[in-house]
């Protein structure tokens, strides 16, 4: 049946608003700050045409998060083949059974129309605890998936509309925050139920056949868009790599290598040469790896509706047994961001070679920070995963400086309100502020790095914290001549004479009331040659105390007359000539903020730094 | 004679409504960009003319004049506010830049930063710290404050916002900073977050506070200038300003609280919609105001507009309670385009008021929804704005052909139909969103359409969503101004009061409410409110650990909240939660987050006598026919009616088009329109 | 139900007895099925499983493994709490939650209703030790575990089968949490096969005797056990008796773990209260309450004459109590992985110590220590995390003496396990057992001496990661009635090459690389019973000739002087007399 493009567009935009309502309901009814404050969850509508599963629309939070749910829905159909019924509600988590890491739970609700499961509203959310030996499931000592928490294959939470109490009890017995888990998963189901209602309305209004056909056209349209874009790029092979600082299990500088092959309107990403699978917890299963491939191209084509059609021209070669396609029982708890984001960065660096005007930092690179302790005010045990310690990741792009906190693909993750956090957790924040000279220099600079200081406050006894640092030796890349970000690090007992500088990981480190912890969140990469930056913009940054006069000279070759607070044109021109020559000789020159970071963490001497910056 | 006047100064037109007890006088005069005061005086002259009065005579006998203003809105849209600074807790001056990580686009790497209304150089941290319980962890360093205030003064900053962490729990430090500012920089405008929004969450609070600091001084200047000129002209009545919460307040209040007047105009429209809906017997309404660039939707349940607190304006967060007007970027000016994949898209880009749609003939090249409407015969090029402006049909056709029809390989008319349907669908989704996201079924509501083109689309949207009645007030085009005449005085107070529901101490609660009420009453008296006062108390409640609060009314009949009232509220909370989110957990602990108090100073209602029914046949108003497109029937020779000539009781069945001086109403086939005795077109929708 | 008893003809009573014995035999038959078809040594050799038949109220009428009477009963109750009104023919419920009646997560219990004429007539229970259920280390023994989740995945009652069909997501999920899914599924099949057999035999019983009789027999069996036990208790002296036993350390750096019991005998009723025991520890030595009850009843049954059948009747006569948060009744989510060994055995010893006093000169008083500490020693190849070799299973001996007999072989409570054949073990593991021998002078001296300690020496290649938790080194097996303590247990590492040499292993080791060489493990020697000087000199001579006692010890401890392979009667009389004088001197 043919459907006019208008109806197709109507179906498409309706699907978008359905996904939005699903996640709305979820976020508003969840109990964990992880969702109702941080929005570390996402929703999607998936479609099954009898042969393959497609992503129709998505909403909220991190897009790569829900892209990865494709495999979750596929796993459900695979596992329950011939055993799926109206009223079933399914739950997925296992990295080797359709999930990405045990922490991400995905609720999938098959919607039957005319007796066929056609639509799957789905919510994916990151659980704070999933049982296992270590709270939060995030232990650097984990070397196999069993050590990361309770594993399960796709489970039926509801069976033909009936709640399976036994399964809920089982899940709760394997969780340190059982009540929160119950409420949050209930909220996820609530979201899917709202989605079901709207999907049924839509099909009732247009007829399911029309909707199906419309979707086919919607997919085709997105596919055409990307193909035309790829075709416009020159054929060829483009290699790049991005290094993972550490797998917390003895492995350092793990290379993520990619070769993009553009052939007509097809693009293949081959990861041959990438590090072998790690004994640590950073292994990224294909669902996760692919989601970053999709994410990067979504960021390169922001005006194209994202759905499975968009993914079709993209192929990937993922060597089995590598860190981007590990074999069971690899540990994966830390993979979603750690390796995933380097996958994104490697791809972006490769794209830089044929589409420099489009690229920039699209992913993030984190310090993970967990604290485990008892709140003296309530006596309750609390697990706090604190995003506030490393949110500054945005890079410069042709035409815009980096700004704000998260880079686009992650900017739906709401940073918690400091005031709300202090009420919910026994903590006191002392600083959360940009630092001077820390922004990655470029014609368009990255967002400044940021310093966050925090201390335990009104905690009962010691609080144990785990802090894992990435992107210190290998910060977020600069593009088209821009410099890399300053890099992340943390300092425990900051300001005391017994400081612990964390360059890789501190695991279950005890802290007590009043002990400061400091993080630097390094900011995204710069874009283009810093010496090409308009002096007026540099002056603005100086006035805003984002760049010091010294930094203006050192990084941008701009001389500021301190009396007039104005640019000294001549001196600037001269200095820039000088620097241009010097940098031609030393392309890997180290920007001021980066240098300070390396000095503070005692890395400057380290040889690997040379190729790191 | 005692006149009451409502004037709403909009972007393009300044609308006015006046009454002296016998019916309404309404009309429009062109706005004067940058000079609202003059536009107001123009409007007054226009009213005077219609009443054979001099402006002075009219003003002398005017009891009150209520203004809807766009000063705040425009200041934010144009970023034309004053030089404003911020004093905040040391170490946290970038909260406003970090914006809790939020960005408007998930994929666009090139989205630039928002314009800094308070640039970092004027954001100063000072040593001080208060904890969540209001305890001083670190005392305020007054010398430091003095130093930074001088810096700001010397930098030419004329308005200072003060926002310290946990000031809602203990405002001592903020108030002390204000004193120091007044000492060091006496003529500086000062805004305290504990006054503007004494509520938890620093980003929401600081954003709201600096918006107030950035915009209020301009409103202050404007109001002072205007009031002076009005007094000179002999005006002795009271000058009031429409507030975003649907109430009015006097100049004195408004000068200090610009941020409360952000939605001055739209909320006036909603209030008027409630009023005229109720007169015609409808208490459950979804209002749809379709302007040139936006489509504003508001849900009115049981005669009460929903109040929301999560608005963004010009990329800044405004968390004061506003009538919850949900806006999507789809209006008459929304541009239609074909994307790389060959799919037809409408909006979010808009041709705006200038150059506007191609058919305006002001150089607009790209096709808009309005152009499609012209092509489809909904709008009569000759009658736009009552003939004030002729539309260029050919230009519309050219634009649609070039940018949509040809790329898609279809005819211009098919393309126009496509644009029309897609725009309708987006708006219909907005109607669903405001209702469903609140657990309401849109089919239980009447759709009230106003604004330029609202009534062209309403009938189709209603059919799509399943709404059975469409209402179009004759005063649709001046509804906002009308709102001014109807609104009561209203002060909203809010205060954080975070604790488990089980641990609420009634004494403490009543004490807090008493204080809030005292503050509110003082403001009302200063505004010259009558003594007839209604108090409404609410608690924001949520499940423990949950963050989304639900606003629950406290059903207290006395000045005190009793244990029973509180228990009742807690029970209501569970039901409200279920109604809103399809989900409740009665066994789970709840906590109170904040207290709200709304003090309403009632104003005498305006009298607008009902008109008697005339005969049923609308033939007297029939002025001809023309080709108009309808989805099922295609192009149909359709009767055209002159709205001005229609009388109450006239019944006309679709397909039909009614031309009011500045609105066009399309009645699709299968629908029936009747003008009721309160000057509202009631359109019954079948299917 | 006395009602059933009275008015029964002798013939009927005989028939009930016949059915009672058939039921007991049936659990042993089911056990044989499990032992023969299971694929893991824990079941096949350690015989770590239990099969039971319960009446329709969930009280056990027969169990093949008396040492799991309590935990099996509690697990069954937990299953019924979840599904009492939702159990149909062909359903099977699985659970292993240590904090809901279980022992440790490795013991998975299956419960199936036994249905006759659409009514539940009783329940069949099959429990077996699973090779691995996740957690930090394969096998689940993790000394540093602070929570049960570090030992594996607790499974609350879930339906494994419905209407005789497998519930796929549940079974797959259980297997997914095991490092050895095939072995686990194999063991599940073995347990299910046993349940099927139970059902078939049940039908035969009902066919032969009628449902009414079978129902009656289920109750009669318990009534019989109850009467037997109460009769025994009546023979005991009323009063309160305290017993205590300590474990060297808790495996996580914590000092001795004390288990204390207060026994109150009141006519034919016995109450055991463990509330005086130490608070729960942040390590794997806690004993889940079900496991505590198992060991307490084990001790009780060992002390009363031991053909009192282990079933629900015993629980009717004994009341067991323990405050929450004690090391023998820890709160969720405490770790409990080693509990079935330690401090389960300390529970048994503490009870024996208390009850011995109550027995007066009844048979029980003559029973010595009924268990002995066995160090936990496991290792795995560095490269292969799923494998785990246990040396604990090679440990044997250490039985204490009793009035009238020397100790021999393994102690009472540990006698269920079979010692693997050295040849078979070496074949399986491709590594040498250097020695397996009794050690001189380790047997607790006494009129009746304990069994000597048995030392097992195994070679280490240096490729192993070692996990061990030593015990019984500071606190040996106690002697009874004047008998001497057994020799201490030992865990000794012997490194190859010079600079090596023997050294005592640390108290706790977790996944540490082993040096090439050997490891020697000895359980403690059994405790002696009665005064060594009262031991028949000829028996001492025999022990000396057998190398169990050295001549020096014979003279010093037993006062028996050996000369030229003969007892020197005169010297012996003198030696023994001298001690008398010394004693009189004091």
For residue range A284-307, what is the model confidence (pLDDT) as tens digits?
A: 999 999 999 999 999 999 888 899
Residue-level pLDDT at B662: 78
Residue A580, token pair as written in the block: 């241009």
- Confidence band, pLDDT 50/70/90 cuts, at residue A357: very high
- Identify the CA nearest to B145 among candidates B170, B172, B173: B173
User: A165: which chain C residues are within 8 Å (Cβ-Cβ)?
Assistant: 82
CA C83 – CA C97 distance, rounded (Å): 15
Q: Do chains B and C touch (3 or more CB pairs under 8 A)?
A: no
Is residue B262's pLDDT more than 70? yes
Q: Average pLDDT for residues C351-374, to the nearest whole number?
A: 84
Across the interface, do B421 and A27 touch by the CB < 8 Å criterion? no
Which is higher by pLDDT, C155 or B329? Answer: C155
- 3-state DSSP assignment of residue A147: helix
Cβ neighbours for A82, distance < 8 A, ≥ 6 positions apart:
none
| Alpha carbons within 13 A on the beta-carbon side of B352 | 5
Most confident of B608-622, C283-297, C423-437: C283-297
- Confidence band, pLDDT 50/70/90 cuts, at residue C1: very low
Q: Average pLDDT for residues B129-142, to the nearest whole number?
A: 95
User: A429: which chain B residues are within 8 Å (Cβ-Cβ)?
Assistant: 91-92
Across the interface, do C173 and A147 touch by the CB < 8 Å criterion? no
Of A518-522, B127-131, B180-184, C372-376, least confident by mean pLDDT is: C372-376
DSSP B404: I
Cβ neighbours for B257, distance < 8 A, ≥ 6 positions apart:
B196, B212, B216, B249
- Please, what's the b/e burial string for A109-144 (b: 16 or more CB within 10 A of its CB; e: otherwise)? bbbbbeeebbbbbbbbbbbbbbbbbbbbbbbbebbb
DSSP A101: S
Instruction: Tell me how close the Cα of A602 comes to any Cα of chain B, in angstroms.
Output: 25
Provide the Cα torsion A105, A108, A109, A113; round to 10°.
Answer: 180
Instruction: Tell me how close the Cα of A207 comes to any Cα of chain B, in angstroms.
Output: 14
pLDDT, tens digit, 9 for 90 and up, residues B625-678 = 999 998 788 899 999 999 889 999 999 998 999 998 778 899 998 899 999 999
Residue-level pLDDT at B531: 67
Q: What is the largest CA-CA distance in chain C?
A: 81
Residue-level pLDDT at A265: 96
Is residue A607's pLDDT more than 50? no
Instruction: Tell me how close the Cα of B378 comes to any Cα of chain A, in angstroms.
Output: 20
Across the interface, do C135 and A329 touch by the CB < 8 Å criterion? no
Instruction: Identify whether the C-beta of residue B191 lies closer than 8 Å to the C-beta of residue B260.
Output: no
> H/E/C letters for each residue in B28-46?
EEECCCCCHHHHHHHHHHH
Mean pLDDT of all residues in chain A? 92
- Confidence band, pLDDT 50/70/90 cuts, at residue C566: very high
Q: Average pLDDT for residues C403-413, to the nearest whole number?
A: 87
Is residue A606's pLDDT more than 60? no
Burial of A166 (0-12, 13-18, 19+ CB in 10 A): buried
> H/E/C letters for each residue in C86-108?
CCCCCCEEEECCHHHCCCCCCEE
CB of B415 less than 8 A from some CB of A: no
Instruction: Tell me how close the Cα of A551 comes to any Cα of chain B, in angstroms.
Output: 17
DSSP B501: G
Instruction: Identify whether the C-beta of residue B69 lies closer than 8 Å to the C-beta of residue B242.
Output: yes
Across the interface, do A151 and C179 touch by the CB < 8 Å criterion? no
For residue A17, the tally of other CB atoms under 10 A from its CB is 22
Mutate to test the interface with A, among B100, B326, B334 (most CBs of A within 10 A): B100
Residue-level pLDDT at B583: 65
Residue-level pLDDT at C586: 55
DSSP A491-509: EETTTSTT-EEESSEEEEE
> H/E/C letters for each residue in B577-595?
HHHHHCCCCCCCCEEEEEE
Chain A residue at shortest CA distance from C173: A152
- Identify the CA nearest to C195 among candidates C129, C127, C132, C104: C127
For residue B609, the tally of other CB atoms under 10 A from its CB is 10
Instruction: Identify whether the C-beta of residue C448 lies closer than 8 Å to the C-beta of residue C400.
Output: no
Is residue A333's pLDDT more than 70? yes
CA C5 – CA C26 distance, rounded (Å): 23
User: In this predicted complex, what is the ipTM?
Assistant: 0.83
Across the interface, do A415 and B120 touch by the CB < 8 Å criterion? no
CA C399 – CA C397 distance, rounded (Å): 6
Residue-level pLDDT at B402: 95
Crossing angle (nearest 10°) for helices A338-351 and A286-300: 40
CA B453 – CA B78 distance, rounded (Å): 25
CB of B201 less than 8 A from some CB of A: yes
Q: Average pLDDT for residues A254-273, to the nearest whole number?
A: 98
- Please, what's the b/e burial string for C485-496 (b: 16 or more CB within 10 A of its CB; e: otherwise)? bbbbbbbbbbbe
Instruction: Tell me how close the Cα of B143 comes to any Cα of chain A, in angstroms.
Output: 20
Is residue B530's pLDDT more than 70? no
CA A15 – CA A429 distance, rounded (Å): 41
Which is higher by pLDDT, C581 or B260? Answer: B260
Chain A residue at shortest CA distance from C137: A147
Please give the distance of CA C327 from its chain centroid, rounded to a whole number: 17
Which A residues in the span 128-187 are in contact with C, Cβ-Cβ below 8 Å? 131-133, 143-144, 146-147, 149-156, 165-167, 169-170, 172-174, 176
- Confidence band, pLDDT 50/70/90 cuts, at residue A63: confident
Mean pLDDT of all residues in chain C? 92
CA C194 – CA B371 distance, rounded (Å): 80
Percent of chain A exceeding pLDDT 70 equals 98
Nearest Cβ partner for A545 among B113, B120, B498: B120
Instruction: Identify whether the C-beta of residue C214 lies closer than 8 Å to the C-beta of residue C124.
Output: no
Q: What end-to-end distance do the CA atoms of chain A give, in Å?
A: 57
Q: Average pLDDT for residues C397-407, to the nearest whole number?
A: 90
List chains touching B (3+ CB pairs under 8 A). A
CA distances in angstroms from C528 to B683, C89, C396, C580, listed in the order given:
104, 53, 17, 20
Residues in chain B: 687
- Identify the CA nearest to C40 among candidates C130, C105, C151, C125: C130
Is residue C2's pLDDT more than 50? no
Q: What end-to-end distance do the CA atoms of chain B give, in Å?
A: 49
Residue-level pLDDT at B325: 83
pLDDT, tens digit, 9 for 90 and up, residues C428-441 = 888 999 999 999 99
Q: Do chains B and A touch (3 or more CB pairs under 8 A)?
A: yes
Residue A441, token pair as written in the block: 């220099």
CA distances in angstroms from B227 to B58, B236, B241, B662, listed in the order given:
15, 10, 12, 30
Where do the DSSP E strands lie in B36-169?
A: 62-68, 84-89, 123-126, 129-130, 136-138, 159-163
CA A139 – CA A505 distance, rounded (Å): 10
CB of C161 less than 8 A from some CB of A: no
Provide the Cα torsion B376, B378, B384, B386; round to 10°.
Answer: 160
Is residue A59's pLDDT more than 50? yes
Cβ neighbours for A69, distance < 8 A, ≥ 6 positions apart:
A42, A44, A46, A55, A106, A108, A122, A124
CA B513 – CA B383 distance, rounded (Å): 54
Instruction: Identify whether the C-beta of residue C271 lies closer than 8 Å to the C-beta of residue C296.
Output: no
Residue-level pLDDT at B439: 67
Which is higher by pLDDT, B582 or A318? Answer: A318
Percent of chain C exceeding pLDDT 70 equals 97
Residue-level pLDDT at C243: 96
- Please, what's the b/e burial string for B99-130 (b: 16 or more CB within 10 A of its CB; e: otherwise)? bbbbbeebbbbbbebbebbbbbbbbbbbebbb
CA A220 – CA B681 distance, rounded (Å): 44
- Confidence band, pLDDT 50/70/90 cuts, at residue A410: confident
pLDDT, tens digit, 9 for 90 and up, residues C288-299 = 999 999 999 999
CA B671 – CA B509 distance, rounded (Å): 53
Cβ neighbours for B232, distance < 8 A, ≥ 6 positions apart:
none
Pairing relationship of beta strands B159-163 and B84-89 according to DSSP bridges: parallel
Chain C residue at shortest CA distance from A91: C169
CB of A231 less than 8 A from some CB of C: no
CA C205 – CA A19 distance, rounded (Å): 61
Q: Average pLDDT for residues A186-207, to the nearest whole number?
A: 92
CA A200 – CA A99 distance, rounded (Å): 27
Between CA C575 and CA C579, with CA C578 as vertex, the angle to 5 degrees is 95
Nearest Cβ partner for A412 among B106, B131, B203: B106
Residue-level pLDDT at A608: 47
Which B residues in the span 528-547 are in contact with A, Cβ-Cβ below 8 Å? 543-547
Instruction: Tell me how close the Cα of A439 comes to any Cα of chain B, in angstroms.
Output: 14
Instruction: Tell me how close the Cα of C181 comes to any Cα of chain A, in angstroms.
Output: 12
Please give the distance of CA A385 from its chain centroid, rounded to a whole number: 15
Chain A residue at shortest CA distance from B94: A433
Nearest Cβ partner for A133 among C135, C154, C179: C135
- Confidence band, pLDDT 50/70/90 cuts, at residue B232: very high
Residue-level pLDDT at A609: 43
User: A329: which chain C residues are within 8 Å (Cβ-Cβ)?
Assistant: 179
Percent of chain C exceeding pLDDT 90 equals 76
Residues in chain A: 613
Q: Average pLDDT for residues A10-38, to the nearest whole number?
A: 83
């Amino acid at each position: 049946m043919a459907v006019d493009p208008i109806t197709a567009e109507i179906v498409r935009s309706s699907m978008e608003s359905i996904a939005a309502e699903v996640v709305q309901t979820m976020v508003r009814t969840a109990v964990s700050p992880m969702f109702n404050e941080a929005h570390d969850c996402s929703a999607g509508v998936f479609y099954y045409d009898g042969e393959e599963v497609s992503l129709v629309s998505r909403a909220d939070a991190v897009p790569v998060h829900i892209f990865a749910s494709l495999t979750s829905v596929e796993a459900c159909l695979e596992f329950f083949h011939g055993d799926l019924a109206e009223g079933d509600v399914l739950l997925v988590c296992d990295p080797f059974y359709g999930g990405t890491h045990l922490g991400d739970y995905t609720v999938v609700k098959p919607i039957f129309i005319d007796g066929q499961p056609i639509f799957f509203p789905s919510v994916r959310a990151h659980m704070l605890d999933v049982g296992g030996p270590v709270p939060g499931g995030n232990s650097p000592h984990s070397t196999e998936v069993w050590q990361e928490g309770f594993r399960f294959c796709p489970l039926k939470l509801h069976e033909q509309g009936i709640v399976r109490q036994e399964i809920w009890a089982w899940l709760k017995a394997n969780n340190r925050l059982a009540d929160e888990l119950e409420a949050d998963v209930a909220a996820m189901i609530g979201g899917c139920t709202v989605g079901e209602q709207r999907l049924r309305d839509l099909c009732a209004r247009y007829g399911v056949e029309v909707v199906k056909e419309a979707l086919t056209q919607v997919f085709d349209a997105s596919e055409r868009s990307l193909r035309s874009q790829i075709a416009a790029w020159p054929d060829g092979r483009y290699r790049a790599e991005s290094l993972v600082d550490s797998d917390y299990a003895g492995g350092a500088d793990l290379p993520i290598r990619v070769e993009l092959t553009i052939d007509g309107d097809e693009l293949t990403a081959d990861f041959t040469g990438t590090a072998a699978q790690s004994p640590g917890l950073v292994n990224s299963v294909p669902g996760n790896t692919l989601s970053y491939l999709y994410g990067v191209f979504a960021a390169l084509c922001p005006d194209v509706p994202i759905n499975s059609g968009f993914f079709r021209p993209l192929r990937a070669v993922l060597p089995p047994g590598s860190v981007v396609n590990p074999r069971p029982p690899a540990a994966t708890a830390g993979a979603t961001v750690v390796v995933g984001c380097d996958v994104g960065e490697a791809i972006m660096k490769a794209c830089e070679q044929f589409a420099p005007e489009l690229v920039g930092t699209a992913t993030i690179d984190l310090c993970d920070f967990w604290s485990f302790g008892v709140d003296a005010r309530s006596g309750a045990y609390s697990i706090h995963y604190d995003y506030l310690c490393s949110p500054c990741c945005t890079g410069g792009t042709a035409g815009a400086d980096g700004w704000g906190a998260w880079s686009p693909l992650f900017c739906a993750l709401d940073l918690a309100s400091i005031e709300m956090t202090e009420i919910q957790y026994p903590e006191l924040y002392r600083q959360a502020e940009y630092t001077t000279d820390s922004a990655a220099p470029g014609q368009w600079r990255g967002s400044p790095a940021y310093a966050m200081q925090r201390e335990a406050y009104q905690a009962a006894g010691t609080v144990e914290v785990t802090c894992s640092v990435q992107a210190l030796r290998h910060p977020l890349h600069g593009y088209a001549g821009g410099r890399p970000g300053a890099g992340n690090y943390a300092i425990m007992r900051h300001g005391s004479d017994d400081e612990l500088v964390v360059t890789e990981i501190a695991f279950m480190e005890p802290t007590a009331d009043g002990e400061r912890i400091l993080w630097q969140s390094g900011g995204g990469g710069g874009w283009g040659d810093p010496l090409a930056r308009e002096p007026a913009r540099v002056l603005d940054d100086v006035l805003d105390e984002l760049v010091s006069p010294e930094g203006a000279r050192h990084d941008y070759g701009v001389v500021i007359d301190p009396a007039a607070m104005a640019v000294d044109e001549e001196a600037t021109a001269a200095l820039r000539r000088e620097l241009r020559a010097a940098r031609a000789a030393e392309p890997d020159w180290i920007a001021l903020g980066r240098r300070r970071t390396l000095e503070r963490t005692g890395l400057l001497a380290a040889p690997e730094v040379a190729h790191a910056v | 004679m005692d006149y009451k006047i409502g004037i709403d100064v909009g972007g393009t037109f300044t609308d006015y409504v006046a009454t002296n007890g016998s019916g309404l006088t309404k009309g429009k005069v062109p706005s004067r960009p940058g000079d609202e005061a003059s536009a107001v005086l123009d409007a007054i002259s226009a009213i005077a003319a219609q009443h054979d009065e001099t402006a002075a005579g009219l003003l002398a006998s005017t009891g009150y004049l209520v203004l809807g203003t766009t000063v705040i809105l425009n200041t934010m849209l144009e970023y034309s506010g004053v030089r404003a600074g911020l004093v905040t807790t040391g170490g946290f001056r970038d909260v406003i830049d970090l914006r809790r990580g939020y960005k408007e686009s998930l994929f666009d790497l090139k989205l630039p930063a928002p314009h800094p209304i308070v640039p970092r150089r004027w954001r100063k941290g000072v040593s001080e710290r208060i904890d969540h319980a209001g305890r001083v962890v670190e005392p305020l360093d007054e010398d430091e404050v003095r130093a930074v205030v001088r810096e700001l003064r010397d930098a030419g900053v004329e308005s200072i916002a003060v926002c310290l962490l946990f000031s809602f729990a203990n405002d001592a430090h903020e108030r002390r900073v204000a004193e120091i500012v007044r000492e060091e920089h006496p003529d500086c405008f000062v805004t305290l977050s504990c006054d503007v929004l004494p509520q938890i969450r620093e980003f929401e609070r600081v954003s709201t506070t600096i918006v107030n600091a950035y915009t209020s001084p301009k409103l202050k200047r404007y109001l002072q200038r205007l009031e002076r000129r009005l007094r000179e002209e002999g005006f002795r009545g009271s000058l009031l300003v429409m507030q975003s919460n649907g109430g009015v307040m006097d100049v004195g209040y408004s000068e200090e609280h610009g941020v409360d007047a952000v939605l001055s105009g739209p909320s006036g429209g909603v209030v008027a919609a409630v009023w005229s809906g109720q007169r015609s017997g409808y208490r459950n309404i979804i209002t749809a105001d379709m302007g040139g660039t936006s489509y504003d939707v508001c849900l009115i349940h049981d005669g009460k507009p929903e109040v929301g607190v999560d608005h963004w304006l010009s990329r800044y967060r405004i968390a004061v309670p506003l009538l919850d007007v949900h806006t999507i970027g789809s209006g008459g000016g929304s541009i239609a385009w074909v994307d790389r994949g060959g799919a037809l898209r409408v909006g979010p880009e808009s041709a705006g008021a200038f150059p506007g749609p191609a058919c305006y003939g002001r150089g607009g090249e790209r096709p808009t929804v309005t152009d499609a409407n012209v092509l489809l015969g909904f709008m009569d090029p000759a009658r736009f704005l009552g003939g004030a402006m002729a539309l260029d049909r050919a230009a519309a056709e050219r634009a649609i052909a070039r940018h949509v029809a040809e790329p898609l390989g279809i005819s211009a008319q098919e393309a126009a139909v496509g644009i029309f349907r897609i725009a309708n669908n987006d708006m219909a989704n907005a109607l669903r969103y405001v209702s469903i996201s609140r657990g309401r079924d849109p089919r239980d509501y009447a759709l009230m359409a106003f604004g330029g083109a609202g009534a062209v689309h309403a009938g189709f949207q209603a059919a799509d969503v399943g709404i059975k009645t469409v209402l179009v007030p004759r005063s649709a085009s001046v509804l906002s101004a009308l709102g001014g005449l109807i609104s009561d005085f209203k002060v909203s107070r809010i205060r954080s009061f975070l604790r488990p529901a089980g641990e609420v101490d009634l004494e403490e609660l009543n004490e807090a409410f008493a204080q809030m009420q005292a503050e509110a009453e003082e403001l009302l008296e200063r505004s010259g409110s009558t003594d007839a006062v209604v108090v409404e108390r609410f608690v924001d409640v949520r499940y423990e650990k949950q963050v989304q609060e639900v606003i629950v009314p406290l059903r207290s009949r006395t000045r005190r909240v009793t244990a029973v009232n509180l228990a009742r509220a807690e029970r209501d909370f569970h039901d409200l939660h279920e109604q809103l989110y399809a989900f409740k957990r009665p066994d789970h602990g709840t906590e109170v987050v904040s207290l709200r108090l709304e003090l309403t100073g009632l104003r005498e209602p305006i009298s607008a006598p009902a008109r008697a029914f005339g005969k049923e046949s609308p033939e007297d108003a029939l002025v001809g026919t023309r080709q108009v497109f309808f989805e099922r029937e295609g192009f149909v020779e359709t009767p055209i009616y002159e709205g001005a000539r229609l009388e109450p009781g006239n019944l006309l069945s679709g397909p039909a088009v009614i031309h009011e001086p500045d609105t066009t109403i399309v009645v699709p086939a299968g629908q029936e329109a009747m003008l009721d005795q309160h000057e509202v077109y009631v359109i019954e929708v079948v299917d | 139900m006395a009602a059933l008893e009275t008015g029964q003809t002798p013939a009927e009573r005989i028939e009930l007895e016949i059915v009672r014995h058939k039921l007991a035999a049936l659990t042993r038959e089911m056990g044989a099925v499990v032992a023969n078809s299971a694929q893991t040594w824990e079941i096949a050799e350690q015989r770590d499983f239990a099969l039971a038949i319960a009446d329709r109220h969930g009280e056990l009428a027969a169990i093949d493994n008396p040492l799991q009477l309590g935990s099996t009963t509690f697990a069954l109750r937990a299953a019924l709490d979840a599904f009492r009104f939702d159990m149909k023919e062909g359903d099977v419920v699985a659970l292993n939650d240590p904090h809901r009646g279980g022992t440790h997560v490795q013991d998975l219990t299956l419960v199936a209703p036994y249905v006759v004429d659409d009514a539940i007539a009783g329940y069949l229970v099959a429990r077996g030790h699973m090779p691995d259920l996740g957690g930090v280390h394969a096998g689940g023994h993790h000394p540093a575990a602070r929570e049960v989740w570090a030992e594996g995945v607790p499974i609350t009652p879930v339906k494994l089968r419905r209407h005789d069909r497998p519930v796929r997501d549940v079974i797959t999920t259980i297997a997914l949490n095991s490092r050895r899914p095939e072995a686990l599924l194999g063991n599940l099949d073995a347990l299910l096969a046993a349940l099927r057999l139970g059902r078939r035999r049940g039908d035969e019983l009902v066919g032969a005797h009628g449902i009414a009789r079978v129902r009656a027999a289920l109750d009669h069996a318990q009534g019989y056990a109850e009467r037997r036990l109460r009769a025994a208790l009546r023979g005991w002296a009323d009063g309160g008796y305290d017993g205590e036993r300590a474990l060297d350390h808790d495996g996580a750096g914590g000092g001795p773990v004390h288990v204390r019991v207060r026994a109150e005998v009141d006519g034919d009723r016995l109450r055991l209260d463990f509330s005086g025991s130490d608070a729960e520890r942040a390590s794997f030595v806690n004993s889940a309450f079900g496991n505590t009850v198992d060991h307490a009843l084990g001790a009780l049954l060992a002390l009363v004459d031991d053909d009192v059948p282990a079933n629900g009747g015993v629980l009717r006569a004994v009341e067991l109590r323990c405050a929450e948060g004690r090391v023998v009744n820890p709160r969720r989510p405490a770790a409990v992985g080693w509990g079935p060994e330690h401090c389960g055995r300390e529970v048994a010893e503490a009870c024996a110590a208390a009850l011995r006093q109550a027995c007066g000169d009844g048979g029980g008083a003559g029973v010595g220590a009924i268990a002995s500490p066995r160090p936990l020693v496991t290792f795995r190849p560095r490269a292969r995390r799923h494998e785990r070799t246990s040396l604990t299973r090679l440990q044997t001996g250490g039985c204490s003496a009793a009035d009238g007999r020397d100790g021999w072989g393994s102690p009472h409570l540990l006698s269920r396990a079979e010692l693997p054949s050295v040849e078979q073990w070496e074949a399986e593991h491709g590594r040498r057992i250097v020695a397996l021998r009794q050690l001189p002078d380790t047997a607790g001296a006494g009129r009746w001496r304990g069994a000597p300690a048995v030392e097992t020496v195994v070679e280490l290649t240096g490729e192993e990661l070692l996990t061990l938790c030593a015990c019984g080194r500071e606190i040996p097996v106690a002697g009874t009635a004047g008998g001497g303590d057994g020799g201490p247990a030992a865990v000794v590492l012997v490194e190859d090459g010079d600079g090596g040499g023997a050294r005592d292993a640390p108290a706790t080791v977790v996944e540490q690389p082993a040096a090439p060489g050997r490891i020697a493990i000895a359980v403690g020697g059994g405790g002696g019973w009665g005064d060594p000087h009262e031991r028949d000199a000829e028996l001492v001579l025999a022990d000396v000739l057998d190398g169990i006692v050295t001549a020096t010890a014979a003279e010093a401890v037993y006062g028996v002087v050996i000369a030229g392979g003969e007892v020197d009667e005169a010297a012996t009389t003198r030696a023994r007399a001298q001690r008398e004088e010394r004693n009189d001197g004091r």
